[in-house]
Amino acid sequence: MRFLLAGGGTGGHVNPMLALAQLLRAEGHEVYCLGTNQGLEARLVPERGFELKVISRLPLPRKLSFAALLFPFRLLGQIFKTVGYLRALKIDFVVGFGGYVSPPAYVAAFLTRKPFVVHEANAIAGYANRLGAKLGGKVAIAFPNASLKGTLTGMPLRQEIVESVAGYDKGQARVELGLDPVLPTLLVTGGSLGAKRINDTIIGSLEQLGAAGIQVLHIVGERANLPEVREPGYVRMNYCTRMDAAIAAANLAVSRAGASTVSEFSAAGLPAVYVPYPVGNGEQRLNAVSVVEAGGAKLVLDQDFTPDFVAEKVIPILSHAATLNQMAAASKSVGIPDATQLLRDLVLKTMDTRARD
């Protein structure tokens, strides 16, 4: 079969798209990706060996302006361009992962009567996937408390993360990352763009963490403008190409609560302290609800994540093995490590149902 997978912009859209793409290709299907020249997909899709079909990035206007008046016509142009891709490539099925490129894909699939699946990564669905659902797409959701109702498949995970979940020696992972193989390890990440509050607080807590015998793997983000550091007890990098090793090396994580991050940590059974992004519609807080309620993570507001919080809450968790073990088991209990396969199953089931109709 021939698939067109639509997703672009952030890792939360691109990584699950590529996870499904790799599984479908491994099973003998032909897969193309739809994206833009500006998002992460422009780099990651070709790196994974897939052909990227490009349309323009069209953010939804938030207020009346000349650009808002032109938006419907520009959107129509991208829809027709996507229809052209569907016909030229003889696509059988479309899967969308949200973001700017998904609305043209959903409308094009609707107009050409191609079956399609909408994958919603966040607890609060965005405009693109709400549109896809209204047009009749079968909905897959990553979290049980999602605002968009559908089949719970979880978040498709990168293959290296799945393999890490299956078993990665913690000491070996630490050595590979320049860490001590035996010290308790705190993984800190604010996502690809970084998180200033998290970075500043951790840097301000290094002395207390070191005094407690805790080492830190600190991924600050490519836009943080902080020099990389490799010294005993503290490794700081702008971007980590080995998140499988980083997750395996850690006893506890401090992180934003993006859908991919929460899903990867839960699938691996990694306890976390989530500091949701304070701007937006509150989706990050809701992404973490299931694992927090299960006891596998703690939630703290951005404004409350301070060196005092690290001293009073984070260090005691890392210093108590029984607490870490309980949290790890609770985290894993809500994780969905086979999410890619579950989404694949939903896609194939939808194809079979449409074929019978």
Same domain, 24 and 144: yes
Do 274 and 307 share a domain, yes or no? yes
- Asked if residue 139 lies in contact with residue 118, where contact means CB atoms within 8 angstroms, the answer is yes
Per-residue pLDDT, 272: 98
Host domain of residue 316 = 160-334
Q: What φ, ψ does residue 171 adopt, rounded to 5°?
A: -65, -40
User: Does the structure show a pLDDT above 70 at 180?
Assistant: yes
Are 150 and 171 in the same domain? no
Question: Is residue 4 over pLDDT 80?
Answer: yes
Q: How would residue 165 be classed by pLDDT, with cut points 50, 70 and 90?
A: low
Task: Quote the number of domains for the chain.
Answer: 2
Task: Let me know whether 47 and 152 are in one domain.
Answer: yes
Same domain, 185 and 314: yes
Residue 92's domain is classified under what CATH number?
3.40.50.2000
> Do residue 69 and residue 101 come from a single domain?
yes
Residue 56 shares a structural domain with residue 197: no
146 and 209 part of one domain? no
Tell me the per-residue pLDDT of 207-224, one tens digit each, with 9 for 90 and over.
999 999 999 999 998 788
Same-domain pairing of 14 and 148 = yes
pLDDT at 120: 95
Q: What confidence tier does 356 reach under pLDDT thresholds 50, 70, 90?
A: low
Clarify whether residues 143 and 13 are in a common domain: yes
Give per-residue pLDDT as tens, 247-259: 999 999 999 999 9
Residues 234 and 328 in one domain: yes
Shared domain check, 32 and 92 = yes
